[in-house]
């Protein structure tokens, strides 16, 4: 156990947490969240001006992305020695109000809290094929426990199920290619006219289709990221899933995604989400069958040992804090 850092007024702590949450992963790096910072609480809203109506009509991935930002904010507060309570979807008549975070007291700053806070700065999406070392059973078990603590299951696909995933991903690619609204959105968020501070720059998109069994998302254009010589033979594919399929469940799935990804980062693992198979109704049903109808699939993740020799050469941008947060007058 470490000694606690100096205390900060709650408003400053909430503002720091909202800023840290800006580093969260999001579908197409849309960062579809807005924070309102109050003296006594932090409110999370969906910013639907950055939603993807063609790709994500039910806002599943928007909710998962906002859930990841919510968990990032919690991690930042825990690392400052604050305990928190989260009220999901606190206003039934305002579905865009996704959560309220409140500081409920002090907690000791543990080594694990500091590790996760460090991962906030290091975490990123890695679309290069994984190296040849497999993810160990102990590493997976730790991630499974971490997801379960947030109320979400994590299933490691068997080799047969990975074969079924290959088929589902290929169906999703075909469905995507046949849908002009989805194609137009992908182009908007990955092409040269992507909104400033958002989207995927060429540095994080491979310069050719990587040699993988489970095909990576086709962004419609090649970037400049060199995939190296790896393959995904040693990769582990996992599915985040749970009993429910509604906004509360998707928000929780996002919290679990962040929890798993930050811990995986601390374990030296690389993570790549596969959301196309969930976005499309037909392939989402295939994923449910792959899970033997044990639950609703929220997101597929590829886990692999991160290449220790080569750091990613580029990273995704972020919106300035002022565009994703407002400070209540009373908190100034
Ligand atoms: C809900 C969700 C779905 C995503 N789906 C995909 C995907 O299908 N393919 C992909 O390459 N990246 C996917 N990503 C990764 C995002 O593109 C990435 O988080 C974003 O560009 C920010 O980059 P960073 O994670 O490196 O910070 C997804 C992320 C989230 C949170």
Mutate to test the pocket of ligand 1, among 23, 29, 198 (most ligand atoms within 8 A of CB): 29
Strand partners, 242: 296
Residue for token pair 């050469």: 313
pLDDT digits (tens, 9 = 90+) for 63-77: 999 999 999 999 999
Start-end ranges of CATH 3.40.109.10 in the chain?
10-124+320-331, 137-305
15 within ligand 1 shell (Cβ under 6 A) = no
Instruction: Give the predicted TM-score (pTM) of the model.
Output: 0.97
Distance 30 CA to ligand 1 centre (A): 9
Q: Is 27 in the pocket of ligand 1 (CB under 6 A)?
A: yes
Contact 44, 89 (CB under 8 A): no
Dist CA 105 CA 210 (whole Å):
48
- Residue 2 confidence (pLDDT) above 60: no
User: Ligand 1: which atom is nearest the Cα of residue 124?
Assistant: 26
Q: Is the CB of 316 under 6 A from ligand 1?
A: yes
Q: Where are the alpha helices (DSSP H) in the chain?
A: 10-21, 60-79, 111-122, 137-149, 159-177, 180-190, 247-266, 276-279, 281-290, 321-324
137-305 belongs to which CATH class? Answer: alpha beta
What confidence tens digit (pLDDT) does each residue in 243-284 have? 999 999 999 999 999 999 999 999 999 999 999 999 999 999
Write the class of the CATH domain 10-124+320-331. Answer: alpha beta
Q: Does ligand 1 come within 6 angstroms of the Cβ of 55? A: no
User: pLDDT, tens digit, for every residue of 152-209?
Assistant: 999 999 999 999 999 999 999 999 999 999 999 999 999 999 999 999 999 999 999 8
């Amino acid at each position: 156990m470490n000694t606690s850092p100096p205390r900060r007024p709650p408003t400053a702590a909430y503002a720091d947490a909202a800023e840290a949450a800006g580093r969260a992963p999001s579908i197409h790096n849309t960062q579809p969240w807005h924070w309102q910072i109050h003296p006594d609480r932090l409110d999370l809203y969906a910013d639907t001006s950055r939603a993807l109506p063609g790709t994500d009509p039910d806002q599943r991935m928007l909710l998962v992305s906002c859930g990841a930002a919510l968990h990032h904010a919690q991690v930042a507060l825990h690392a400052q020695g604050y305990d928190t309570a989260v009220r999901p979807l606190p206003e039934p008549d305002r579905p865009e109000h996704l959560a309220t975070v409140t500081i409920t007291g002090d907690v000791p700053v543990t080594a694990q809290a500091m590790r996760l806070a460090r991962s906030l700065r290091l975490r990123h999406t890695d679309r290069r094929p994984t190296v040849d070392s497999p993810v160990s059973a102990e590493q997976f078990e730790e991630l499974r426990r971490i997801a379960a603590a947030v109320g979400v299951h994590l299933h490691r696909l068997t080799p047969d199920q990975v074969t079924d995933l290959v088929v589902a991903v290929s169906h999703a690619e075909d469905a995507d290619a046949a849908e002009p609204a989805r194609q137009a959105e992908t182009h908007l968020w990955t092409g040269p006219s992507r909104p400033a501070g958002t989207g995927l720059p060429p540095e994080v998109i491979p310069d050719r289709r990587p040699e993988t069994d489970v095909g990576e998302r086709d962004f419609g254009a090649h970037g400049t990221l060199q995939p190296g010589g790896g393959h995904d033979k040693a990769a582990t594919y996992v599915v985040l899933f749970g009993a429910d399929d509604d906004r509360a469940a998707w928000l929780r799935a996002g919290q679990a995604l962040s929890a798993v990804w930050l811990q995986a980062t601390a374990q030296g693992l690389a993570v790549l989400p596969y959301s196309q198979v969930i976005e499309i109704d037909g392939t989402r049903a295939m994923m449910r069958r792959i899970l033997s109808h044990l639950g609703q699939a929220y997101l597929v993740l590829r886990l692999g040992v991160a290449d220790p020799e080569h750091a990613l050469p580029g990273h995704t941008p972020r919106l300035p804090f002022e565009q994703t947060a407002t400070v209540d007058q009373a908190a100034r």
